[in-house]
Chains A and B, each alone.
Chain A
Amino acid sequence: MTKFVKLSIAALALVGMSATAGTLEDTKKQGFVKCGIDGGLPGFSEVVSGGVYKGIDVDGCRAIAAAVLGDASKVKYVSLNAKERLAALQSGEIDVLVRNTTWTQTRDTSLGLNFAGVNYYDGQGFMVRKDLGVKSAKELAGASVCIQTGTTTELNVADYFRANGMEYKAVAYDTNDQVVQSYENGRCDVLTSDASQLYGLRTKLKDKENHIVLPEIISKEPLGPVVRQGDDAWFNIVKWTFNAMVAAEEAGITSENADAMLKSDNPTVKRILGVEGKMGANLGLNADFAYQIVKQVGNYGEVFERNVGVNTPLNIERGLNALWTKGGLQYSPPFR
């Protein structure tokens, strides 16, 4: 009998010891990338007709799949709200989180997470009904403010109102949809969120033209992909997937000319596309990983214009998200 007990305890302990292989090996074995997204945010990740996901964040997931598996469609999307997202990544439910998540010191250091880059430089703004006659965020003393819980937004708005000596009433909800619905029903005067989201959420309102986004931007919100700490190989892959998209734009490689560019004499282009050098091997990927990203998903500029650019309903200028050569902040360390 005691033998049985010993055996069962040993068995239990064994289960506990089953080592987790690296995320790269796991992903290759599964054949898909487990990617956390919002799923309800126009321009970043939303379901369009036919149940297909679309957006900047979705393209981030697809780029990782293209780099790792050679096929951008091999992604398993997990829709997460702001409260769930970090826990889902910590617990291993997803392997990478590309869900307009702000890179902050606390998140980067104390939560066992690593930010792999910035795919969108954002800042927090305010949207109000036009008929309130408000022209500046400084006139919002005493207003009720609709916010999504579990976001840096909630802290920024508190800081902003405190810094300006104004009172406000916070009305916080779990999901963006409930935030928009309550704002629309008049529960609050102001909807606050990252400016990019405000433009996106405005497209969901019935009377879009009666709402304006106030000029003040009250915070820095660098949004980027997040991975678990402790798997540097996977961290590098995600980081250089996003760098590759920026580098490709800088080098003039697009999804259309990627094949022609394979024959380019430019050494930078050659290294990015894997014709020369061991960039892919350094990451444990195929030599053509960046070629696959650009060919199947596009370079950073293409992804931006396709999802949120001036020709989309969101109508957002490149602004901070232009390449560093054009006055923006998007900058990839060299491929060498």
Chain B
Amino acid sequence: MTVYYSKDHEWIRVEGSRGTVGISEHAQEQLGDVVYVELPEVGRSVKAGEAVAVVESVKAASDVYSPVSGTVVEINRAIVDNPALVNEDAEGAAWFFRIELADPSELDQLMTAEAYRDYLATLTQG
């Protein structure tokens, strides 16, 4: 089981051919109080980098991009009913959707947890 991160601040935890996707702790901090979440339909086929979900804080609406291509197989209704869960446990209970990976080699384009930490450091310097 490995967790990867995208430059758009999504994480994906991969187990076998399936990945669980959410937004990073950094992303939820930047958003502030999350008040609304919109998830894709189960069965939707998505491409890597495609906007598939929406997360809205008091401040603004943001797209959530799928870090990989594949088919959405499960969504987390708990965050639709209780959007604040995204602030409480962004990289755990507040996952957004599960996806059946179309091409596991796409994971090579993503960052490890350590590389993502370094990436965040470059953002805060700017």
B and A form one assembly: no
Q: Residues of B at under 8 Å CB distance from A?
A: none
